[in-house]
Amino acid sequence: MSLDWNRRELMLAAGGLAITGLEFPLATYGQDPASQSLDPLGKDLIFRTTDPRNGEPELAQLVKSWITPVKHFYVRSHAPNPVIDIKQFRLTVEGKVRKPLTLDLNQLSQMPRQQVTATLTCAGNRRTEFNEESKVGGVQWEAGAIGNARWSGFALADVLHQAGVLEDAKHVWFEGLDQIQRPQGVIPFGGSIPIEKAMVGGEMPGALLVDQMNGSALTPDHGYPLRTVVPGYIGARSVKWLGKIVVSDQPSPNHYLATAYKIVKKTDPIDWTESGPIYRYPINGAIATPQPQARVPAGVVDVSGYVLPSGRPGSRVQRIQISTDGGSTWQPAKTTGQSSEFCWQLWKARVKVTPGTKALYLRATDTAGGFMPARVPWNAKGYLQNRWYRLPISVT
Ligand code: MTE
């Protein structure tokens, strides 16, 4: 555990803190005493770094339920959780709009509330698999940087309609209230999405401004008091601790859109400029059980995991297959639990293994034409690793 938790985190750990106007329900920080003693914010995760907080759950825990409990929902933060005074908190909407807005949470909650279930996943999920070829920097994620939650909040499109978007608007920038130390100074986390995505309304809005996760107020780790959730896009576009929205004719100049979160071979200016920002995530999946290197007797073995179909509207998992012979032959897996747009699909399979079986492989396809390929070219930041998932086992 890191020794430098900020004051608020320590107070939360000590029993909950009334933050001027909003009481945190401490129960949401982990129900069982064991997980609370491990982490002051009640997370039951494997922390890859503790300052800032970056952690993923054990895969066997992760696939136990279609909705990921907050304590098992991965955290990816570039700086410590900011301390936000709810009384002072305002969301501003500016730029290419007829009527700039400054909204407190009460004003925001006058908007129609919307609920969606959507999966969030980090572009760096499964990054460590790139290390087989050459080590990549960044948080060393295995396959747990993913989670599926019920989000409640307000459609970005409704807020933008209220502000009145001008004709030449092309991108919507989001800016967080966190402070990230970079070589050129302190910056907030930010990014943008295309205006077309931002203006999607209806039951599955293109983007939401969210204040609740799984029925409770967002926790500090997940962006309290307000964040964006952009179904279908990599997690980096879902900006936590949201403070500012700017409507522009340009993409956001923020480092995390303009430079980071791109597929590059080298981290040099030519590659950065040649490569566009990643928005939508591709299909991906993992085998969650058995454990890697598990010793299993020859015969039938139960396998389970998740597959996330590519982040296109309407895309669903089409086929999930397991191979016990290195990809020569494939056996079907069965989907379990719910199936929903922009959500992962859990699955189970029973496959036959022999002493010759060295590994189990997973591959999948979706209705948008997405497929997990046998290999993915190495990239310097280790993003979008979605090759066949390989789980080494030892058959006795
Ligand atoms: N927003 C802010 N303000 N700061 C951050 O560091 N990390 C992003 C995104 N939003 C980040 C952020 C990244 S890279 C991911 S994958 C998701 O938040 C993770 O969301 P979670 O921590 O709620 O799982």
CATH number of the domain that residue 305 is part of:
2.60.40.650
Its pTM stands at 0.92
d(CA 225, ligand 1 centre) in Å: 14
Quote the pLDDT of residue 37.
53
Cα–Cα distance, 83 to 86 (Å, whole number): 9
The reply to whether 86 falls in a domain is no
d(CA 242, ligand 1 centre) in Å: 11
Of the candidates 364, 365, 367, the residue with the CA atom closest to the CA atom of residue 315: 367
Domain with 385, as residue range(s), is: 284-395
C-beta of 70 in contact with ligand 1 (< 6 A): no
Quote the pLDDT of residue 28.
35
Of the candidates 222, 260, 257, 251, the residue with the CA atom closest to the CA atom of residue 120: 222
C-beta of 235 in contact with ligand 1 (< 6 A): yes
Share of the chain above pLDDT 90, in %: 89
Determine contact, residues 227/201, Cβ cutoff 8 Å.
no
Residues 362, 231 share a domain: no
Cα–Cα distance, 117 to 205 (Å, whole number): 11
Helix or strand or coil: residue 100?
coil
Cα–Cα distance, 59 to 142 (Å, whole number): 9
Tell me the DSSP string of 33-98: HHHHHH-TT---SEEEETTTTEEE--HHHHTT-SSPPGGGS-EE-SSPPP---TTT--EEEEESBS
DSSP 293: T
Query: What is the number of domains present in the chain?
Result: 3
d(CA 98, ligand 1 centre) in Å: 30
Mean pLDDT for the chain overall: 92
The reply to whether 60 falls in a domain is yes
d(CA 208, ligand 1 centre) in Å: 15
The first and second tokens of residue 174, run together, are 């989001």
Give, for ligand 1, the residue of 47, 51, 189 to mutate: max count of ligand atoms closer than 8 Å to Cβ: 189
pLDDT above 80: residue 15: no
Cα–Cα distance, 58 to 41 (Å, whole number): 17
Nearest CA to ligand 1 atom 7: 77
Supply angle C-alpha 223, 225, 229, rounded to 5.
50
C-beta of 390 in contact with ligand 1 (< 6 A): no
Residues 256, 126 share a domain: yes
pLDDT tens per residue across span 142-154: 999 999 999 999 9
The closest-lying atom of ligand 1 relative to the alpha carbon of residue 235 is: 16
- Segment 195-208 mean pLDDT: 98
Nearest CA to ligand 1 atom 19: 76
Residues 380, 289 share a domain: yes
pLDDT above 80: residue 307: yes
Residues 340, 254 share a domain: no
pLDDT tens per residue across span 330-377: 999 999 999 999 999 999 999 999 999 999 999 999 999 999 999 999
